[in-house]
Amino acid sequence: MDHVYVFESIARGDEKAASDVDVAFDLAADAVRFSLIAQSRIQRQPTEALGTKVDFIERSYIKPRVRAGFDACDLQVF
């Protein structure tokens, strides 16, 4: 992964106890794409560690209508 972002309630600082964690990532241009099985595994590990649902999506797959909100409140982790 080239960059990782949290967005939505976590990035805005208004998360609740029941909030999920929304994570987006960028892959380097020469990176091998994740299979669905690998992505599921990557999503499951932090879900188990944090005890809350983690949604994990490649940033380029975020739909344009959602992307505007994402860009307004994303927080780059690395």
CA-wise closest residue to 17 among 62, 59, 63, 50: 50
Average pLDDT, the chain: 87
Q: How far apart are CA 48 and CA 42, in angstroms?
A: 11
**How many distinct structural domains can be found in the chain?**
1
Please, what is the Cα angle at 66 between 35 and 43, to 5 degrees? 30
pLDDT value at residue 4 = 92
Q: Residue 44 belongs to a domain with what CATH number? A: 3.30.460.10
Domain that holds residue 70: 3-27+35-76
Judged on CB neighbours under 10 Å (0-12, 13-18, 19+), 5 is buried
pLDDT digits (tens, 9 = 90+) for 33-64: 878 888 888 889 989 998 999 988 888 888 88
* Predicted pLDDT at 21: 92
